[in-house]
């Protein structure tokens, strides 16, 4: 039961990039100050932070204390939640619950990831831990290769042309080129995507999100108190999380990620909306195949017809739903544990009409979709413009 309605009163981000000169804590500090400075004296009661790889790549656990310390906010409670690439979405669900329940009044939800403090092999090794160590990674599977299994199967079952996946990447880069926070803010064409190097066949480099660092923060409070802090805010009208077997082999259907279906249906129900009501969505496109399956699972397109909908312009501004105006994981970037919070910040920005060149006109209802593992941990939120 929801005891109190919850508002997002502020957001802040760093550009996603290879930030060689910034640490885990300084990245978080930058995003947090951006958010804090937009609102009037919020007394923050707690920080919930999403992060996946700090223990492996920065030799650091206890991320909550680090960020509270960085912001001079001790002795408030602060802790990390981890759900692989879905850590940010998990942090949002936790922060929402703390405010909604009345345990705390103002909660900072953040995500931070520092992937470039270690060598490439270690970074891949750490990211791979989103999969099943005993029954997938043991055999030499990589995270990309597990997604490649889905892509190969998808093309086999639906006879989808390979070009459609490349063209989705092209669309994401077209969007991301307008995003000042994007890691890869440039356009590409189909040939570049199709001829990029193989990562795990049939997945090529331009099917994948890049490796980068970043931090994002939003601030939540109860809807009734929101106008104490700011004149413009949005409400989280639906939120849910769901899980699936960590090993993809234990699933009956390889072409649907059931945790997305469950989380989305619960969030739609809570928000009393349907997929048709969503104006703008930030979805979790770690790989182009993840985007295809997720668009279907979220109810934005018919199963197996992602290419048809793509070519009809369904996912562009003015289509059925504007997908990833930020450029998505593909172009904005994917600082893994922060990605879910970037999505929430971007949707807030859209609903407040503050998205600049990325702005989707009159966006009123937005959705975030954040995924850990190959669909094993999924978080969906739905937000609405209040005024």
Partner 1 sequence: MSVPRYWREIPYRIRLEAKKCKLCNYVNYPPRSKCLKCGSTEFEKYILPKRGKLLSFSIIRNPPIGFDKKTPYVIGLVELEDGTRLITQITDIDINELKIGMEVEQVFRKITEDGDSGIIQYGVKFRPKNM
Q: Which residues are designated catalytic?
A: 85, 334
256, 35 contact by CB (below 8 A):
no
Can you name the residues that pair with 15 across neighbouring β-strands? Answer: none
- Residue closer to partner 1, measured from CB, 248 or 352: 248
CA 104 – CA 144 distance, rounded (Å): 39
With a CB cutoff of 8 Å and minimum separation 6, the contacts of 10 are 35, 36, 38, 39, 42, 218, 219, 229, 230
Interface size with partner 1, residues (CB under 8 A): 36
For residue 73, what are the contacts with CB-CB under 8 A and spacing of at least 6? 44, 47
Cα separations (Å) of 102 from 53, 68, 228, 252, 338? 31, 21, 17, 40, 25
We find the least distance from the C-beta atom of residue 206 to partner 1, in angstroms, to be 15
* Spatial CB neighbours of 127, under 8 Å, sequence gap ≥ 6: 52, 53, 85, 115, 143, 336
- Tokens of residue 140, six digits: 């030499």
Up-side HSE of residue 278: CA atoms within 13 Å toward CB? 34
As given in the structure block, the two tokens for residue 288 are 């182009």
**What residues are paired with 378 via a beta bridge?**
242, 371
Considering only 5, 77, 128, 277, the residue that binds partner 1 (CB under 8 A) is 128
Packing angle of the helix pair 339-351, 87-101 (nearest 10 deg): 60
Among 62, 198, 272, 354, binds partner 1 (CB under 8 A): 198
227 belongs to the binding site for partner 1 (CB under 8 A): no
Please give the residues from 62 up to 121 whose contact with partner 1 meets the rule CB under 8 A: 121
Question: Cβ of residue 132: shortest distance to partner 1, in angstroms?
Answer: 8
C-beta closer to partner 1: residue 93 or 248: 248
Which one among 65, 254, 270, 386 touches partner 1, defined by CB under 8 A? 254
Q: Which stretch binds partner 1 (CB under 8 A): 79-87, 133-141, 273-281, 357-365?
A: 133-141
Residue from 55, 145, 196, 256 in contact with partner 1 (CB under 8 A): 145
CB atoms near residue 133 (< 10 Å): 10
Binding residues among 149-168 for partner 1 as defined by CB under 8 A: 149-150, 152-153, 156
Q: Is 253 in the site for partner 1 (CB under 8 A)?
A: no
State yes or no: residue 125 binds partner 1 (CB under 8 A): yes
252: number of Cβ within 10 Å: 6
| Region near partner 1 per CB under 8 A, out of 147-155, 209-217, 225-233, 336-344 | 147-155
Task: With residue 110 as reference, give the H or E element that holds it.
Answer: strand 106-113
Q: Which of 90, 148, 226, 363 binds partner 1 (CB under 8 A)?
A: 148
Stretch of 19-27, 136-144, 261-269, 313-321 contacting partner 1, by CB under 8 A: 136-144
Please tell me whether residue 135 binds partner 1 under the rule CB under 8 A. Answer: yes
Binding partner 1 (rule: CB under 8 A), the pick from 46, 78, 200, 267 is 200
Q: How far is the CB of 142 from partner 1 (least distance, A)?
A: 6
- Judged by CB, which is closer to partner 1: 197, or 231? 197
Binding interface with partner 1 (CB under 8 A): 121-122, 124-125, 128, 132, 134-142, 144-146, 148-150, 152-153, 156, 198-203, 245, 247-250, 254
């Amino acid at each position: 039961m929801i005891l109190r309605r919850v508002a997002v009163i502020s957001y802040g981000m760093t550009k996603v990039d290879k930030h060689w000169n910034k640490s885990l804590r300084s990245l978080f500090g930058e995003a947090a100050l951006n958010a804090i400075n937009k609102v009037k004296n919020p007394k923050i009661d707690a920080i919930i932070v999403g992060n996946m790889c700090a223990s492996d790549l920065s030799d650091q656990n206890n991320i909550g204390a680090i960020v509270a310390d960085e912001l001079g906010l001790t002795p408030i409670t602060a802790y990390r939640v981890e759900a692989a690439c879905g850590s940010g979405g998990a942090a949002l669900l936790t922060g929402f619950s703390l405010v909604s329940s009345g345990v705390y009044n103002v909660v900072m939800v953040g995500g931070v990831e520092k992937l470039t403090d270690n060598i490439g092999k270690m970074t891949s090794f750490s990211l791979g831990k989103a999969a099943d160590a005993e029954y997938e990674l043991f055999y030499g599977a990589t995270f990309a290769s597990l997604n490649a299994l889905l892509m190969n199967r998808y093309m086999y079952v639906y006879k989808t042309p390979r070009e459609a996946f490349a063209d989705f990447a092209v669309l994401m880069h077209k969007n991301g080129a307008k995003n000042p926070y994007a890691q890869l803010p440039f356009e590409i064409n189909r040939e570049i995507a199709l001829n990029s190097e193989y990562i795990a066949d049939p997945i090529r480099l331009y099917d994948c999100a890049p490796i980068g660092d970043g931090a994002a923060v939003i601030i939540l409070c109860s809807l009734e108190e929101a106008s104490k802090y700011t004149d413009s805010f949005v409400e989280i009208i639906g939120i849910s999380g769901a899980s699936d077997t960590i090993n993809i082999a234990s699933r009956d259907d390889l072409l649907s990620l059931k945790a997305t279906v469950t989380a989305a249906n619960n969030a739609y129900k809570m928000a009393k909306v349907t997929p048709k009501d969503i104006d703008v969505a930030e979805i979790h496109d770690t790989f182009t195949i993840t985007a295809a399956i997720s668009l279907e699972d979220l109810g934005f397109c018919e199963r197996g017809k992602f290419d048809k909908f793509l070519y009809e312009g369904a996912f562009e501004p003015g289509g059925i739903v504007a997908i990833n105006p930020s450029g998505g994981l593909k172009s904005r970037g994917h600082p893994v544990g922060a990605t879910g919070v970037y999505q929430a910040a971007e949707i807030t920005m859209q609903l407040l009409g503050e998205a600049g060149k990325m702005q989707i006109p009159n966006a009123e209802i937005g959705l975030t979709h954040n995924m850990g593992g190959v669909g094993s941990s999924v978080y969906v939120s739905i937000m609405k413009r209040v005024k």
